[in-house]
Chains A and B, each alone.
Chain A
Amino acid sequence: MTTSVAMHMSDGLLNSPTTLLFIGVAVVGVGFAAVRARADLDDRTAPMAGLVAAFVFATQMLNFPVLAGVSGHLLGGALAAILVGPWVGALCVSIVLVVQALVFSDGGLSAIGANITNMALIGTAAGFLVALGLKRFAARGRAGLVAVAFVAALVNTVVASLGFVLEFAIGGDAAFDLGTVAATILGVHVLIGIGEGVITALTVGAVAAVRPDLVYLLRGTQKPLELRGKAAA
């Protein structure tokens, strides 16, 4: 028997000025991501991003075992960033979060800005920057790519949880000891991040084995086809 839990922040954790502040941050961030996503996909943006968002949504329904009896589900930020790029990735994860809040009541309506900021903006950006920094290793071969994807997903999860700690420091309840909150949240998310990292790494490996051209991170690293011999003349 596995249990599923909502991973998104609910209402009441942050005070109202902070929720409004992060709704503003989310609107600006998603707007910027939308503009850059259009540059990546041009007129294909809508259908491609729509299907990638449906994919992210579907992977969040897919449980994987963490320990006996405990199962987690993928958050998908780093996975989306590595496969379709940071802009389309951030846009898709944001839209998934909005639909989850409005249609599926997962995550508080007032916390939606903070949830988007953490999971879609900060997390995806951190994951992608790590992957970009380690691109040299990723381009070397399958093992390198898988290792980079693991690290990126782990960092993505941990940094996204740091976003929560930051928001809590700004507008959380003073009754909490911030050090305890940070330690608990970080501890839990390192564990979640390891699971996320393993699944992300294996998934990226599986995609790269079949359609390496679809992996955004590997763009520009493939050698052009070289024709040798007399037939070319």
Chain B
Amino acid sequence: MGAGHAHLLHRPGDTAVHRLPAQVKVVAALAVVLCVVSTPRGEFAAFGLYLLLLACVWALARVPPGWLAKRALIEAPFVVLAVVLPFTAGGPTVGLLGLRLSETGLLAGWNILAKGTLGVLVSLTLSATTSPRDLLVGLQRLRVPALVITIATLMLRYLEVISAEAARMRVARICRGHDPRFLWQAGATARAVGTLFIRSYERGERVHLAMVSRGWTGTMPDAGRAAAPRTWLAGLVPAVGAALVLGTTLWG
């Protein structure tokens, strides 16, 4: 499996950031990202302050910056866009290292690079300090409809099973000499996807019967606890910090 999502990003720990209820962390992360996105692109100092704010959270949560940097590479395709822009956009140009670069293009590229990187760092901080189960409990406390939470819970629970099944089928194909190099050789992969769907669907039918026989009523029990106002205040400190930075850049 080359692609993406096989590795959980969660780093178990017992710091103040880890212990914070997930609903507080989700709201704080979303608020910080919205502040970052709303910041005018020319305010270079503000982006530095956001990074400093995040660095404080990482120090508190004991997440090593190197670990974050490695995972932040997921954003790479958009960085390409940011690098191409200074060469393609029109308008006045500036000379840099002997190249003529578009000024608006440079700023637009910087805009995407800075905001995208800060955004993915915020997401990584959230994923690293909160287990998937806690994240769903947090969404439940934020009044996301019960049906969505239940589906997401079952999905996360069976993801390992289905992925492992897909991995076994892949190993079986390779054992039989499967080595596709071009799209027209994708037939075996596609038939495996079809088989995987049938197995997933039939497993769903069995899971449903098993749940009904154990007294499934249609909703999951609420596993979370309400966060105290003081916890909310403490958890939202980074968000308030980001809002202050944004406020001073807009009205300063």
Q: Do A and B bind each other?
A: yes
The residues of A with any CB-CB pair to B shorter than 8 Å are 2-6, 10-16, 19-20, 30-31, 34, 38, 43-55, 57-68, 71, 73-74, 83, 91-92, 95-96, 98-106, 108-111, 173, 175-177, 180, 194-195, 198-199, 201-207, 209-211, 214
State which of B51-59, B143-151, B226-234, B236-244 sits at the interface with chain A: B143-151
Q: Is the CB of B186 within 8 A of A65?
A: yes
Main secondary structure of the interface of B (DSSP, over half): helix
Q: Which residues of B (1-49) have their CB < 8 Å from a CB of A?
A: 1-6, 8-10, 26, 29-30, 33-34, 36-38
Q: Is the CB of A61 within 8 A of B208?
A: no
| Chain B CB within 10 Å, residue with most, of A54, A64, A195 | A54
Q: Is the CB of B4 within 8 A of A16?
A: no
Minimum distance in angstroms from A156 CB to a CB of chain B: 16
Tell me if B63 counts as interface (CB < 8 A to partner A). no
Interface size class of B (residues with CB under 8 A): 35 or more
| Chain B CB within 10 Å, residue with most, of A47, A63, A206 | A47
List of A residues within 8 angstroms of B101 by Cβ: none
CB-based closest 8 A-B pairs: A12-B115, A11-B119, A206-B194, A50-B154, A202-B190, A51-B204, A4-B3, A175-B108
Tell me if B187 counts as interface (CB < 8 A to partner A). yes
Answer whether A106 and B74 are a contact pair too, CB < 8 Å, given A51-B201, A64-B186.
yes
A2 vs B1: C-alpha distance when bound (angstroms): 10
Of B123, B157, B185, B218, the contact of A105 (CB 8 Å cutoff)? B123
Q: Is the CB of A195 within 8 A of B183?
A: yes
List of B residues within 8 angstroms of A111 by Cβ: 119
A100 vs B154: C-alpha distance when bound (angstroms): 15
Given A53-B151, A110-B34, 7 more pairs with CB closer than 8 A: A54-B158, A61-B3, A62-B192, A92-B155, A103-B8, A106-B4, A175-B91
Q: Is the CB of B182 within 8 A of A67?
A: yes
Tell me if B83 counts as interface (CB < 8 A to partner A). no
Q: Is the CB of A109 within 8 A of B207?
A: no
Q: Is the CB of B153 within 8 A of A203?
A: no
Main secondary structure of the interface of A (DSSP, over half): helix
Contact with A along B83-107 (1 / 0, CB 8 A): 0010011110000000000101101
Q: Is the CB of B78 within 8 A of A13?
A: yes
Q: Is the CB of B36 within 8 A of A11?
A: yes
Name the residue of chain A whose CB is nearest to the CB of B82.
Answer: A12
Q: Is the CB of B189 within 8 A of A62?
A: yes
Q: Which residues of B (185-221) have their CB < 8 Å from a CB of A?
A: 185-187, 189-198, 200-201, 203-205, 207-208, 211-212, 218
| Chain B CB within 10 Å, residue with most, of A5, A34, A74 | A5
Q: Is the CB of A62 within 8 A of B107?
A: no
| Chain A CB within 10 Å, residue with most, of B30, B139, B181, B204 | B204
Q: Which residues of B (146-172) have their CB < 8 Å from a CB of A?
A: 147-148, 150-159, 161-163, 165-166, 170
Minimum distance in angstroms from A48 CB to a CB of chain B: 4
A10 vs B218: C-alpha distance when bound (angstroms): 35
Q: Is the CB of B159 within 8 A of A54?
A: yes
Q: Is the CB of A34 within 8 A of B145?
A: yes
A3 vs B196: C-alpha distance when bound (angstroms): 23
Q: Is the CB of A207 within 8 A of B198?
A: yes
List of B residues within 8 angstroms of A102 by Cβ: 26, 123, 126-127, 135, 139
List of B residues within 8 angstroms of A206 by Cβ: 190-191, 193-195
Q: Is the CB of A199 within 8 A of B163?
A: no
Of A43, A53, A61, A95, the contact of B166 (CB 8 Å cutoff)? A61
Q: Is the CB of A12 within 8 A of B155?
A: no
Q: Is the CB of B156 within 8 A of A99?
A: yes
Minimum distance in angstroms from A139 CB to a CB of chain B: 19
Name the residue of chain B whose CB is nearest to the CB of A109.
Answer: B33
Minimum distance in angstroms from B207 CB to a CB of chain A: 4
Of A14, A57, A99, A199, the contact of B193 (CB 8 Å cutoff)? A199
List of B residues within 8 angstroms of A13 by Cβ: 78, 112, 116
Of A50, A201, A203, the contact of B204 (CB 8 Å cutoff)? A50
